[in-house]
Amino acid sequence: MKKISFIGVGIMGKSMVRNLMKAGFELHIYARTKAKVEDVISEGAIFHESIGECVSECDAVITIVGFPQDVEEVYFDEENILDCASKGAYLIDMTTTSPQIAEKIYAEGTKRGFHVLDAPVTGGDTGAKAGTLSILVGGDKEDFEACMPLFEAMGTNINYQGEAGKGQHCKLANQIMIAGTLSGVCEALTYAKEQGLDLDVVMRSVSTGAAGSKQLDTFGPKIIAGDYAPGFFMKHFIKDMKLALIEANRKGLSLDVLSMVLANYEELEAEGYGELGTQALIKFYDEEHRYMEDEEEPEQAEE
């Protein structure tokens, strides 16, 4: 397995492409806008003008695109991966998407002789750059094992979750945990600020105790600094939470915390913050936002 096609060269994808090239793989890439990937082209990635050209002679195809509809497009629309990839190729979707779409790609791909895996990742842009992503894999176990050299070039915590779609289910469980944890971080920092505490001291005090978490370590300092640059877009996290709620509803589960956090994020997205990072959830709690909410209450009461 030497020639790899990579579709979805964004914030995460660029670092993953670089790490695959460092591991000795030949990378063929496709992006809608070539100008956005000139940096990785200059580093050795081979650019193609179409998906068909990009995947036609590669041993494996990796996709990490934005939304479920984007996954459907690259696998099933005109000049798609399933129609154009080399016979017997490994098709690995690393997008966080619907488990049902993962099962659909697996069923159709297997029928056509492909080896199909769903392998969403967690670890953000930092993990992508460092090559330390957690990779959550669903599909046939022998295909998982065959792709281990690819996964090891991008991540360090690589686990087989089970049949097709299980990788996506594990990723949604991960996103449910993040939703509750990051909401807790924002509420705690809001409380500490209102009580007149030094937030940097609070961070140092609690981060090594029972309240410590990756979300606190990663986003606490950014929240304090007012840094909302996206390592992971708010709009994409909203998509993930919606997918998790759909799957929970299918099982008759009531996930109240997730529903509340999603509602908070959707309100921020409606206010134009969807392109910010997930840590911008703190804006839901900031003084100006709370003042706006208070101003609306009398009018709502009169209705």
Residues designated as active site? 171
- The β-bridge relationship of strands 155-162 and 121-122 is unpaired
- Report the candidate in 115, 116, 121 with the shortest Cα–Cα distance to residue 136: 121
What are the residues whose beta carbons fall under 8 Å from the beta carbon of 53, sequence distance 6 or more? 30
Whether 212 contacts 247, CB under 8 Å: no
What are the residues whose beta carbons fall under 8 Å from the beta carbon of 44, sequence distance 6 or more? 21, 27
What H or E segment, with its residue span, contains residue 93? strand 90-93
CA–CA separation, 7 and 116 (whole Å): 15
CA–CA separation, 82 and 112 (whole Å): 8
Within 10 A of 143 (CB to CB), how many other CB atoms are there? 19
